[in-house]
Chains A and B, each alone.
Chain A
């Protein structure tokens, strides 16, 4: 495990007592935490524990109903301008990729820069091609998402998020929908991104990736963070019974 030399002490995301209900179901029960610039946090926990919902509140795909979330100095409220500002700062990668099927891979990436950052078409395409190069799929630029493999689609999706030059990247189970042999090509890209100093919040079941890359692992259960620690402590010296069970179950296979 490498020490992360990129973190600073300035928190870029601050969450104070964040609550969220789906109808009567209390999904998030008061999350209070903060993330530093350049920090790599892995969020894990059993399904239905609220971990995906939590990172989705950070770019307002889910609205929190109590508490405050401040992202890069802007508080998330119902003010649409703030929401759109924050969404430009926060990139997101989804479990199901959610690429735009009617656009080529290249246009999937250039759309945001052209329509939101107002880049010229030429500039946007140059940047997009450079990103695809970085993702090692430059030769797939003019194909459509349905014409490339799942691992390639997910890398296009990462490139699409990066094209907005975000300060924070959210990953919502980025490898869960992939065939086993394609998981590593996506994790490699994420590893490279982590070393470049990006602030990353990653919901994943890939414990090897967590141990190797994370600065901090947060364990969610039933809407609360029941344990958070550096990977070494988390895996080798878990405090909570629930955490111990989870680790033994996930490391079994």
Chain B
């Protein structure tokens, strides 16, 4: 039976290893690796021991729950906090509906946010009751509107309109009006960080795409303006741009017209980030082969349609890592607005530490703030991986 032996399946050699074998192969394969391994074990032991004792026996964590309100909203007046809560509730409803209607990516983002809400609810520390209450309500709202939004495709248009109106409404809601208006100088903490970051991210993206397209335009005027903008802005530190927005812009403004300080910071962050975004997007545009443009033209697509449906989708998905990196950088760069006297998440730590009751607790506070930054930046990075998988990057 020669044919049988010919087609007989041969199993691949086993690559499984027992734990002892693994240790020997990877950690103790010869004398100097053994020395290194032992040295690393000792080093890690002391490192973890030090961190453990500090975190669990020495650190005075009371500074965090006691100042949770300042960390969250800065010096926003306490009796007006319902405004923030309302904004959070409306956001929760919109996110829940989006997750229900579009599923996929929206679902992932929303569940991530819902998890954060749930975590705040269950936090074992002594939290201000109203914060816990708001977190509970927000989490429930997300869940309820998600269930409501499922299979209600006719709500699509309204949800999109809702998102578009969200930003102006939020600004209006947080500011209030009349005599009780809350000056944006009182906005602070995580609230301000998130507002600056979200506005910066949402606004810098389209501007960056337009600048990238402009830089590759056949029209010399548009091309040169784009190049000049990108190169000049990239050549300046963000701190300089923030200062210019804060100190010089008012000088050029006509009469007593005053642009709000937070708005000026938003503009500065957006314009700064857009220049970098433009170069990221341009990198993606260069990766789209000429044949794609030709095929789109041959089908009769106009330039805007070629860009919208053929070139940009391919260009952007190939530079998602760079774009998300830019978003993360922008998120952390918001901490620089403290130099123009806005107290965002990092900036409020100075206010807290100025209180004699909390002096010397810088490590605790900074570590906590670092963890908060990490949660948000890690979430962004995680979502970007889902987006990539969703779009089949590298597969087709």
Contact = CB atoms under 8 A, between A and B. Distances in A.
Contact of A112 (B299, B317, B391): B299
B295 A100 contact: yes
A112 B300 CA distance: 7
A115 to B, nearest CB: 5
A96 to B, nearest CB: 6
B300 A88 contact: yes
B396 A87 contact: no
A56 B396 CA distance: 28
Nearest to B393: A102
Interface in B275-313: 289, 291-292, 294-302, 305, 309-310, 313
Given A115-B305, A147-B396, A100 B292 contact: yes
Interface in B247-301: 289, 291-292, 294-301
A80 B301 CA distance: 11
Interface in B300-336: 300-302, 305, 309-310, 313-314, 317
Size bracket of the B interface: 20 to 34
Contacts of B292: 98, 100
A94 B314 contact: no
A146 interface: yes
Interface string A156-173: 010011001000000000
Contacts of B289: 98
Contacts of A88: 300
A94 B300 CA distance: 15
Interface string B350-393: 00000000000000000000000000000000000000000110
B342 to A, nearest CB: 41
A202 to B, nearest CB: 15
Contacts of B300: 84, 87-88, 112, 116, 164
Nearest to A81: B302
Given A94-B294, A98-B291, A111 B299 contact: yes
Contacts of B294: 61, 92, 94, 98
Contacts of B309: 111, 115
A98 B295 contact: yes
A99 interface: yes
Interface in A77-99: 80, 84, 87-88, 90-92, 94, 96, 98-99
A147 B395 CA distance: 9
A92 B300 CA distance: 10
B301 A116 contact: yes
A88 B310 CA distance: 17
A199 interface: no
A151 to B, nearest CB: 18
A94 B295 contact: yes
A161 B392 contact: no
A76 B396 CA distance: 36
B395 A146 contact: yes
28 contacts: A84-B300, A84-B302, A87-B298, A87-B299, A88-B300, A91-B298, A98-B291, A98-B292, A98-B294, A100-B295, A100-B296, A100-B310, A100-B314, A101-B314, A102-B313, A102-B314, A102-B317, A112-B300, A112-B301, A116-B300, A144-B392, A144-B395, A146-B395, A157-B295, A161-B298, A161-B299, A164-B299, A164-B300
Interface of A: 59-61, 80, 84, 87-88, 90-92, 94, 96, 98-102, 111-112, 115-116, 144-147, 157, 160-161, 164
- Top 9 nearest A-B pairs by Cβ distance? A144-B396, A98-B295, A112-B299, A98-B291, A92-B298, A88-B300, A87-B300, A146-B396, A116-B300
